[in-house]
Every structure is written in structure tokens, then in C-alpha cells.
Structure 1
Amino acid sequence: MGLSLIGERFLFFAAGISQHQHLYHSLGNDVILPCDNVTSSETRCFLFNWLYNPSLGSVTTFKVNKGKVYQNPPGGSRLSLSNNCSLIISTITAEDVGRYTCRRDQAPDTIVHLNILTISPSPADTDPETDNEVTLTCSLWRYDTKRPCPQNSILWVDEEGTVLTGEGDGYKFNGQTDCVSHLTVKRQSNHNRRYTCQFIGANSVKIDAHYSPVYTDPPTSYVSYIMLSLRVTTLVLMIGITVAVITNRGNSHHNRTS
């Protein structure tokens, strides 16, 4: 059976709506989306549906229909149901962001918003053209993309918890635009620092993600190795010649005085 598509407006009026829950996670986490007020007698999951909207105003699709998990859609193989019919998503990716609705007969809907915070470096750490700098992009992926994130809701802090603003030792804060914030940092061999991106909501940290710049000593090229060998050889020869000259002069002086 194919996926059923239902208009989001119809869904809103079709059943009672419970309070929305917002979950915040990082990429790769395993997530459990709860279905509220489930009693022990209701754990027969064939009574449950899980519906999904990737973004505001999008078409609604079934992730679970009458207890059956759809495996065909992208990411379907990572879905399963718990014993109490909560939806489990393994190793979440950006495509899992959105609004999930748990629905069963004669009960209010449970609506769960899954938000994901990511940090991505540019260029990659292994890029030899980086000039020892990397720009970190911290992004909050969410269902309601039409409502911007408040200014200063995405912060950068160092390993001591100090908020990074402006420009300082080894970093430059490039500002926040909507739900994206940028920080340029230097990769330094003398110390490895850790930078943390935080999303702040209702005056508390909802989620954070960490990044430590990776420093690798530049590889010694073949030409550099040859040049170094020549310098060492020349130095050894010069020392040998100097010792020979001094020894020869000493012998000559000894012969004249004998």
C-alpha cells in the first residue's frame, strides 16, 4: 500500500491537538518521539498512526499507518516503534527534521517537533589550501522555517564557557543570520581549542554541538628533504675540512720546532 497524503489543514481539524513538544538533537543521535498519555491497555500499536510534515505548509505523509512502519520512503529503514508505540528514529539526519504527529482514536494528538543542530567546517580540515583557517557554520534545522531565529539565540563559546564575540585570540565571529551563525578560527599547533555552538531558547541552552580544529604538521616534500640532506652534508664537509686544516697546521708547526 502506498503512502497516504493528507492536507495539513484537514489534519488540524480532524482531531484534538495537545501541546507541542520541541526536541533538539545533533546529527547521528538515536531519537525517541513520545506519544503522550498512552496506557498499558493501549500498547497495541495497530491503533496508532504517526504522520509527518517536513516543513510548515508541506504535504502530510504517513510514517506509521495502523501500526505498520513504512520502509520505502527515504529514511524509512531507520524507523521503528517502541513497546509503547513511540516512534524511534535511528542515526538521525537533516532529512528527519520536521513535525511528527501521533494519532489514535478518541485521544488528542501528540505533536513533536524534531530540531537538529549541526556544525560544518569550510574548507575541510584536510584541505591544504586553508591557510590554517577554517570557517565554522552552525545551523539550526527546524519545521517552521518562516519564523526567523531571534538574534543572539545561536552563540559560540570556548572551552572555558566564554561567549565569543567580535574578534579575539584565534577566532573571528562573523555574525548570525536567521538560524545560521559563522565563526572563523585558526588551527594552531601549540594548542588545540574546542568551540561550542549553542542554541538558546527561553533563557536556557536547548542544544549544543562541539568542534575542535584539527591541526596536522605540513608534510615534508621530497625536494625539501633533498635540500635538508645537502645542507647537512655541506656542514659535515666544512667541519671535516676545518679539522684537517687545523691538524695540518699543528703538524707543520711541530716539525719546524723539532
Structure 2
Amino acid sequence: MKMNTREVILIFLLQFQVISGQNRYKFVRAGDATILPCMQSSCSSTDWLHSRNGGPLMDVVKNNTVVSSSPGSQRLRLMDDCSLLIERVMAEDAGYYGCDRDQQQILEVLLTVLTLTLQESDPMSDGRMFLKCSVAFYEDRLQCNSRSLRWMDEEGKELSSYGVQQNGCVSFLTVSPVSRQRKYTCQCVKGGHVEVEARYTVVSTEESTRGPGGPGAQSPGRNVLIFVIRAVVAALMLIFLIVAVILVKLKSKRNASQGP
């Protein structure tokens, strides 16, 4: 794809700033709203450009107007000070953003998005569930390692490596069934500092909460009554089946004795 002079200049400046450490990083949790600042007194000729995964630069705002054909345009809005508002942030929103005015670069932002979801449980895993925490960012600028993502329990204690599987910027936590709600937090850490975190509350299924003394537990008397009712119904069905068989045999004998 052939790039125009403006795109070439922007890519060159982006690469220079990444090396020199002058980028503005923005970390946000998926589902939240975020504002990319580009504070100007006039937005009559303001453009916003976006690049995902090192791909080509695309206009998301052109001459103070959101480009309707750009991905996620319905969630974008240009503020009065030319800053870009992104509502309900998604992983695909991550990447490089550049704010231009009169075709001159004003600001660059590298947006990183943290997503935390509950994966479907494996029927063969004894009811265990899996939480997936992932980070979407611009190319390899975050440099994920084994300490880039960490899991915390509801008491703020870091969970051990047991039950945690991490591959790059994706980490899975194995959650065992419990008799109450449990909260787990995934944190994105950069340079020893927590940049953004997401929390997930695991709600036990009805079956798992019906342990002794657990929420929704049934009393022993109620359990006995249910057992008796089921036994009576089964006995009545058996009696009905036996009577039906006897009646069929009696009818067959009567027909045989009467003859043709």
C-alpha cells in the first residue's frame, strides 16, 4: 500500500519517540470510557489517526468530524477541546493515536487495553472455571513478561503461580468451585507500577452453593420428604405397569378360550 508524505512523517516520528521514551501511554480497562487529550482552543481542522498492530494509519476524525466508515465510529466523539472520547473501549481500540491540526502533529498516544473475561468451564474439569486476562497494545511496545500480568485475591494478596498459565500478554487463572462469591483481580504492571486493573466476581452455581450450611442449602427434613415423594411415585408407576400387563394377559386368555 502506497503511503503519502504525511503518513511517512508520522510513522518516522512515532518510531523516534518510542526509542526516546517520549510517548504518552494510556492504559484503560475494556468496557470503560477514556479520553485521549489534544487540548486546543479550536478544532476546525483537527484530525485523529489510528494504527492497530503496526498497520496503516487510518483517519478516525477528519476536519473535526468523526469518520463514519472507521471501525467503532459509533463509540467515538470529539470533545470541545479536540480531545477524543472513546466509549465502551474494546481490545481492537488499542494502538497508536495521533492528533493533528493543520496537518501538523500535536500529540501521540499509545493506548493499551486490559480485558478480563470468564471462559467456558470444561465439563471434564470438576466444575472449575477459567478467567482470561489479556492486554492489547501497539506492536511490542509493552514488552510483556512473566510479571506484566498478576492475579490478586479479594484480600489483595497475590496469587501464587499455581493455577496460573501465562503466554506473553495473555494469562489464565484456574478457579475452583466455592460455596460463595469470590473476587479476583488482574493487574497490568509496567516498571513495577500497576497501570490498570480489572476485577471479576465469580458467582457459584446453584449446585455448588448447596453444601452443608451454604447459601441455598436445603434442610434434612425437606430432603427426606422429597425422597419419600419420589419413592411413592415410582411405586405407583410400577403397580400401574403390573396391572396393565395382567389385564393384557387375561384378555389374551379370554380370546383364546372363546375360539373362532
Q: TM-score, structure 2 length as denominator? A: 0.71
Alignment partner, residue 253 of structure 1 = none
C-alpha distance in 2, partners of 1:94/1:27? 7
Q: Are residue 134 (structure 1) and residue 129 (structure 2) matched?
A: yes
- C-alpha RMSD of the superposition: 3.2
Q: Residues 145-156 of structure 1: matches in 2 within 5 Å?
A: 145=140, 148-156=143-151
How many pairs does the alignment contain?
213
Of 190, 206, 230 in structure 1, the residue corresponding to residue 195 of structure 2 is: 206
Q: Secondary structure at the match of 1:11?
A: helix
Alignment partner, residue 49 of structure 2 = 51
Q: Residues 81-120 of structure 1: matches in 2 within 5 Å?
A: 81-105=78-102, 108-120=105-117
Q: Residues 100-249 of structure 1: matches in 2 within 5 Å?
A: 100-105=97-102, 108-123=105-120, 131-145=126-140, 148-167=143-162, 172-174=163-165, 176-189=166-179, 191-218=180-207, 227=227, 229-231=229-231
C-alpha distance in 2, partners of 1:183/1:5? 43
C-alpha distance in 2, partners of 1:184/1:200? 20
Whether contact under 8 Å (1:24, 1:115) holds in the other structure is yes
Q: Secondary structure at the match of 2:92?
A: helix
**Which blocks of at least 5 consecutive residues in structure 1 are unaligned?**
235-258
Structure 1 residue runs of 4+, over 4 Å off? Answer: 4-8, 13-18, 127-130, 225-228, 231-234
Q: Are residue 69 (structure 1) and residue 58 (structure 2) matched?
A: no
Alignment partner, residue 35 of structure 1 = 38
**Which blocks of at least 5 consecutive residues in structure 2 are unaligned?**
211-224, 235-260
Whether contact under 8 Å (2:92, 2:136) holds in the other structure is no
Distance of aligned partners of 1:108 and 1:71 in 2 relative to their CA distance in 1, 3 Å threshold: closer
Once the two structures are TM-superposed, the CA of residue 73 in structure 1 deviates from its matched residue by 2.2
